[in-house]
Amino acid sequence: MSLSLTHVTGVYFERLFAQNKTLSAAKAQVLLVDRFTMPIISMCYTQSQLLQQEVILVEMLDKQHSLSPMRHLNCVVYIKPEKESLAMLSAELRSPHYSQYSVFFSNSASKNDIEKLARADENEVVRSVVEVFSDYSVVNDNLFQVAVEAGANSTVHEAASLSSLLLSVKKCPAIRYEPQSLVAKRLASEMLYHINSNSNNNLFDDLNRTCDSAPVLVILDRKSDPITPLVTPWTYQSMIHELIGIEKNVVTLPESGEQLTLSEKDDFFRDAMYLNYGDLTDKFQQYVDSYKRQTKQSATSLQTQDLAELKKLLTRFPEFKKLSANILKHLNIISEIDKQISAQSLWAVGELQQTIVCGLDNHNAIRSKLLQVLRDVAVSAENKVKLLLLYTAKFPTGDMEPLVSLLRDPTLTNPPPPARYFSLVANFNRVFGAGAKNLRDEHTNDNTTNNNNNNIAKLFTQNKIKIQSLFNPTNRPRSASMPKTDNIFMQYIPPLHETLGHVTGHIKTPSSLSLLVPDTVNKQYGGAAGVAPQHVVVYFKGGATYEEARLIHEMSRMRSGISYVIGGDSLLDSSSWLERMCEMVE
């Protein structure tokens, strides 16, 4: 059975509202949420979908003192069992604003917490208390995000949220992590403790009874692969995030400020989200043509004298209106993407990025092309910095001073890059090289340097892998606006592909990842734990990318029998990753 986060959260959230429907005198209800669960529910339900569940109001728990008494309404409480939220809920129960309360926690609550709530329920308005393990946001069916707040116990809270994910998909995994990463090791150890300590209340017992092999949780450090977030993506969802921005599945168009929601319930988006830019434009044209055919047929049918046929046609008008609005939505998004590609000279920048990271040319030719782009006033400072970072990682002994001098020239780059970017370029290999220690670049096409042991070099060993090994692109001609060799923009494959190949056994050499085995997994699988898993959960400490989610999607599609999901504590674009790297080198 595949791992489907959309299905899992759908089942859980149905439980939130199901009890009210079973009552003989079912009432309209209020949904009471806290600051932790509001983003989670907003990414799963629209306002109209909540209305279908008879939810007529959504209120924040921290606004309880300003709530109006509505004793004719039932209340569904959906909060994270954090100290602040529990205290506010206790205060609400002592002076209830609603008729009855069904309490749902997004993660496991302690016995002490529940006893405190019971004492606060002096009016006996609480009908039920249930744990629904949903302490994470679902972005795609295979992509999730965990909200991590800075603090002394941030790793503990992060492990608790990850545990809720595992409990929701009903998997108790062996844990793989990068041994050279302190943050990955700390989180893996906390996960092991969390799973073992929860075995006392049987939360993780028997979760794997339908699994022939133990599931695996792979914990990776973003710092070990600083390259993937820097490479410009060329597939639809990734490009939207990179060039416009996606926040909680909402896109805000820069000029109009219009907010557009992305959802896999949108048939076009679901079918197009992983398409490269060339195939995307073809797909959108087909979508528009289909709409034209349907509306043309409808216009012809309006002339019919058959009342039954006319009635059937009129019932489809709302569907046509919805389809038209969806076409306009994606037209606006694609138009903005096209505008950004031109404004940022991304055809030239993107091709050079791929040439550098995949070693598609020799060092001298690459350097010559880089000098040309650095002299191009149309290329932004940020894109020039990204190219320099890729270059210095690929050719660590290359002479950077002439390149940096061009970047400093205000006549070539205006506005000039901030000082922190120059510091990042100077310190990039020192700070980010340790992630791939003892690994070497097997494909560096550099006749001017000796074979080096630079730690970051392993990130470029994917260079000659053809994209056809993961994808099956069509051979039909591209639109006139597309470069003839558009596959050049899709040559880079994130190192995650190789990492998971080791984990699943598709690459026979031993994995460099360390292994921790929870007690319940060890009892069930013994020495076979962590070998040839059927279910893999990947978690990036430091942020995942939409391109890695696309990779996971393709691997799930092509490797039958293995199901993957991926997540992180954030979803990165190149700009946010640049800023984080600047902070790391300070």
Q: pLDDT per residue over 9-39, tens digit each?
A: 888 888 888 766 655 456 789 999 999 999 9
Domain 139-225+494-585 adopts which CATH fold? Rossmann fold (3.40.50)
Residue 193 CA neighbour count, 13 Å, CB half: 12
Task: Give the tokens for residue 551.
Answer: 């990779």
**CA–CA gap between residue 163 and residue 323 (Å, rounded):** 39
Helices (H), ranges, 121-253: 154-168, 182-198, 236-243
Look at residue 441 in the predicted model and tell me its pLDDT: 47
* SS3 call for 334: helix
Of 73-82, 160-169, 462-471, 539-548, the range with the lowest mean pLDDT is 462-471
Query: Contact, 418 vs 575, CB < 8 A?
Result: no
Look at residue 155 in the predicted model and tell me its pLDDT: 95
Of the candidates 61, 6, 10, the residue with the CA atom closest to the CA atom of residue 32: 61
**CA–CA gap between residue 519 and residue 513 (Å, rounded):** 19
Query: Contact, 278 vs 482, CB < 8 A?
Result: yes
For the segment 456-483, the average pLDDT, to the nearest whole number, is 37
Look at residue 354 in the predicted model and tell me its pLDDT: 96
Q: Write out pLDDT tens, residues 267-294.
A: 999 999 999 999 999 999 999 888 888 7
**E strand residue ranges, 65-194:** 74-79, 101-105, 126-131, 137-140, 143-145, 174-177
Other beta carbons within 10 angstroms of residue 351's beta carbon come to 20
**CA–CA gap between residue 66 and residue 72 (Å, rounded):** 18
For the segment 256-264, the average pLDDT, to the nearest whole number, is 93
**CA–CA gap between residue 34 and residue 76 (Å, rounded):** 12
pLDDT: which is higher, 134 or 443: 134
Residue 333 scores a pLDDT above 70: yes
pLDDT: which is higher, 586 or 110: 110
Q: Which residues contact 173 (CB under 8 A, 6 or more apart)?
A: 166, 214, 215, 216, 217, 518, 521, 533, 535, 537
Of the candidates 290, 280, 227, the residue with the CA atom closest to the CA atom of residue 454: 227
317: phi then psi, degrees, rounded to nearest 5: -60, -45
Residue 423 scores a pLDDT above 70: yes
Residue 548 scores a pLDDT above 90: yes
**CA–CA gap between residue 288 and residue 269 (Å, rounded):** 14
Binning pLDDT at 50, 70 and 90, where does residue 421 land? very high
End-to-end CA separation in angstroms for the chain: 46
**CA–CA gap between residue 30 and residue 56 (Å, rounded):** 6
Domain 236-343 has CATH 3.40.50.2300: no
Query: With pLDDT > 70 as the criterion, what percentage of the chain qualifies?
Result: 85
Residue-by-residue DSSP string for 415-480 = SPPPHHHHHHHHHHHHHHGGGGTT---TT---TTS-----GGGGGGTTTT--GGGT-----SPPPT
For the segment 107-116, the average pLDDT, to the nearest whole number, is 93
pLDDT: which is higher, 459 or 190: 190
Residue 557 scores a pLDDT above 70: yes
For the segment 252-259, the average pLDDT, to the nearest whole number, is 94
Binning pLDDT at 50, 70 and 90, where does residue 1 land? low
Query: Contact, 554 vs 275, CB < 8 A?
Result: no
Of 234-238, 425-429, 458-462, the range with the lowest mean pLDDT is 458-462
| β pairing state of 250-252 and 246-247 | antiparallel
User: What's the Cα-to-Cα distance from 17 to each of 141, 146, 584, rounded to whole Å?
Assistant: 22, 24, 45
30 beta partners: 57, 75
Mean pLDDT for the chain overall? 85
Task: Give the tokens for residue 379.
Answer: 């290329």
Other beta carbons within 10 angstroms of residue 549's beta carbon come to 28
Residue 312 scores a pLDDT above 60: no
Residue 387 scores a pLDDT above 70: yes
Query: Contact, 39 vs 78, CB < 8 A?
Result: no
Of 96-110, 230-244, 471-485, the range with the lowest mean pLDDT is 471-485
Look at residue 528 in the predicted model and tell me its pLDDT: 76
pTM over 0.85? The answer is yes
Domain 5-134 adopts which CATH fold? Rossmann fold (3.40.50)
Of 162-171, 195-204, 523-532, 563-572, the range with the lowest mean pLDDT is 195-204
